[in-house]
Amino acid sequence: MLTDIERHELEAAVKHYPDKRAGAIDALLIVQRRRGWISDDSVLDIAQFLGMTGEDVDSIATFYNLIFRKPVGRHVAFVCDSISCWIMGYEQVCARIKERYEIEPGQTTRDGRLTFLPIACLGHCERAPAMMIDQDVYGCVTPDKVESIVEKYR
């Protein structure tokens, strides 16, 4: 069930749309910000609020790669695996993350601090390779810069 705060935030987010179903991504992001990820129960809560089916909301949540359908760490490190970043050092950056934080793509550190996820183009191709932690985008990432970037996020 949505909390009063969640319901208030959702109502504010969808009021600008002629059809509140158009606010499905906004709704998913709001609930995710409150709950950390989007569980099956969260999908149903959102679907009920928007007047949609759970399957419809689930398909949007699954398609949109900033929506987490499994629990994630306190911070999420997205590393771009699209062509420019791949050419410019994606594999070396990933190797450093794996080695330093002992996680594979899709995994979370044992202390729950960091989840590591590949992601499609972040729109910073001119500064490849790029990574994003939470909302912060970093360009020209090298293996030697990985730790100084990640250590800002406790």
Using the minimum distance from each CB to ligand FES, give the nearer residue, 22 or 87.
Answer: 87
**Radius of gyration of the chain from its Cα atoms, rounded to whole angstroms:** 17
Shortest gap between Cβ of 140 and ligand FES (angstroms)? 11
Please, which residue, 114 or 122, has the CB nearer to ligand FES? 122
CB of 94 to ligand FES, least distance (A): 13
Shortest distance (Å) from residue 50 CB to ligand FES: 31
Binding site for ligand FES (CB under 6 A): 80, 82-85, 121-125, 128, 130
Q: How many CB atoms lie within 10 A of CB 39?
A: 16
Least spacing, CB of residue 80 vs ligand FES, in Å = 3
In three state form, how does the secondary structure of 108-121 look? Answer: ECCCCCEEEEEECC
Q: How many CA atoms lie within 13 A of 32 on its CB side?
A: 23
Task: Collapse the DSSP code of 133 into the 3-class scheme (helix H, G, I; strand E, B; otherwise coil) and give the result.
Answer: strand
